[in-house]
Amino acid sequence: MRTSRVSRDTASVLAALTPRRSSRRAISTTVTPIKQESPLSDASLPSDDYSTTPEPSSNRKRKRPTGTYPTTSPKSLPSSVQPSAASSTAPIPKRARRQPAKQIKAEDGTVTVAPPANWEEMYSVAAAMRKLRTAPVDTMGCETLADTTRTPRDQRFQTLVALMLSSQTKDTVTAVAMQNLQRRLPGGFSLESVLAVEPATLNGMIDKVGFHNNKTKYIKATAEILRDRFAGDIPDSIEGLVSLPGVGPKMAFLTMSAAWGRDEGIGVDVHVHRITNLWGWHKTKNPEETRASLEAWLPKDKWHNINTLLVGLGQTYCPPVGRKCGECRLGVEGLCPSAVIDRKQIKAKREVKIEDEVKAEVEVKTDLTDTVGAGLVETQKSIIKKEETITSDLEDAGR
């Protein structure tokens, strides 16, 4: 329904003359006076300082005040109402998505492999975690089991035998078997002593390792091949090492690195194969495919260390059964796409940590208050004692 112009002008004049309620909007102190003209003319409308009453509208939104208001910074608040540390805690990151290595084909037909996008960050975080917990591979790995008092040739042979014994066997069990060979073999642990010992006696020394019957046959046959074909020393090539019975590519590459100091490939065992697939670096079916995938893009200076790094990680944080994703930084920080984390549990741990920090701060303040109070009491006692001394001196002087 439309209203007449006279009605609108009358309403405008009444709105201008009627005192308005105070609002949040800042109103200018200078008011432009209304011109004295005909009450029905356009000039009789109020000045810009007084807005006309608009027609009601359902879509009109309330405007925010444009003036500035005093604000209180968190630092000026009392300690009792300071924002807690929980408000500044970073949110729990979401699970990362898989970013495997990709093959890129150039215009000239050459194919290059682009590494996973975040592999360097994951590698550095895993290396930092490995420093916090000592794994069995760090103290009882095959590279550490050779008797350093023996000749370099005997040490290389012991390293090869240790790797042969470690197949499907825990490092702790392998270390015990190596100690038995070093202590019980006549003349010490060497190629000659292994050739001279009876198979049954040798089998009794290593009977705790997995598949010890087969490994006894492999070690005896390997000793004879080394004597006849390699002049009593272990081969210095991958082809020669894999030709030995019971020696696969993983053992060959690890032997070349530990015994000869040459990194010619990555030793991929079950831990390396499993964890790199969990990280989403590739999707491989067996350790040989994993080795080929890693060697295509991983820098060569990390070929030797990645085995110890991931084996230790698999022994401490990421075992095959019962993975500890809630304790692993890769899972908590959202870097591992396969992490299974109870986010409520992580949140509860953070809240407990914050409460402990608050309690510790309160205890420190309490101790400080007690210390200051005790100091004031001692000061008051000393002042009272001095006053008593002065008073007694004055009384003696008066007497």
Find residue 384's DSSP bridge partners: none
pLDDT digits (tens, 9 = 90+) for 81-133: 444 444 445 556 666 788 899 988 888 888 889 999 999 999 999 999 999 99
Burial 166-204 (b: 16+ CB within 10 A, else e): bbebebebbbebbebbbeebeeebbbbbbeebeeeebbe
The domain limits of the chain are 102-332, 346-384
76: which DSSP letter? G
Res. 74 pLDDT band, cuts 50 70 90: very low
Closest CA to 5 of 32, 37, 51, 39: 39
Burial of 388 (0-12, 13-18, 19+ CB in 10 A): exposed
Helix axes 305-316, 270-278, angle to 10 degrees: 80
The whole-number pLDDT of residue 268 equals 94
Q: Catalogue the active-site residues.
A: 250
Q: Which helix (H) or strand (E) holds 260?
A: none
- Residue that has been written with the tokens 């008797």 in this structure: 147
Helix (H, G, I), strand (E, B) or coil at 295: helix
**pLDDT the model gives residue 322:** 92
Burial zone of 268 (CB within 10 Å; 0-12 exposed, 13-18 middle, 19+ buried): buried
> What pLDDT is attached to residue 3?
59
Q: What is the pTM of this model?
A: 0.64
Number of CB atoms found within 10 A of residue 335's CB: 20
Per-residue confidence band for 328, with pLDDT thresholds at 50, 70 and 90: very high
**The pLDDT of residue 255:** 96
Residue 45 has pLDDT above 50, yes or no: no
Crossing angle for the helix pair 249-259 and 287-295, to the nearest 10 degrees? 50
Query: d(Cα 355, Cα 361) in Å, to the nearest integer?
Result: 10
pLDDT of residue 92: 60
Residue 2 has pLDDT above 60, yes or no: no
The residues pairing with 111 across neighbouring beta strands, listed in sequence order, are: 105
| CATH dotted code for 102-332 | 1.10.340.30
- Which residue intervals of the chain are DSSP H helices? 5-17, 119-130, 136-140, 152-165, 171-184, 191-196, 199-205, 212-229, 238-242, 249-259, 270-278, 287-295, 305-316, 329-332, 343-398
Q: Which of 191, 215, 188, 193 has its CA nearest to residue 204?
A: 215
pLDDT digits 0-9 by tens, 152-175 = 999 999 999 999 999 999 999 999
pLDDT for 108 equals: 85
For residue 31, pLDDT over 90 is answered with no
**Counts for the chain of helices (H) and strands (E), in that order:** 15, 2
Burial label for 115, CB within 10 Å (0-12, 13-18, 19+), is: middle
Q: What three-state secondary structure class fits 301?
A: helix
Tokens of 268: 């991929």
For residues 343-360, average pLDDT: 61
Give the per-residue pLDDT at 353.
59
In the chain, the percentage of residues whose pLDDT exceeds 90 is 56
244-273 pLDDT per residue, tens: 999 999 999 999 999 999 999 999 999 999
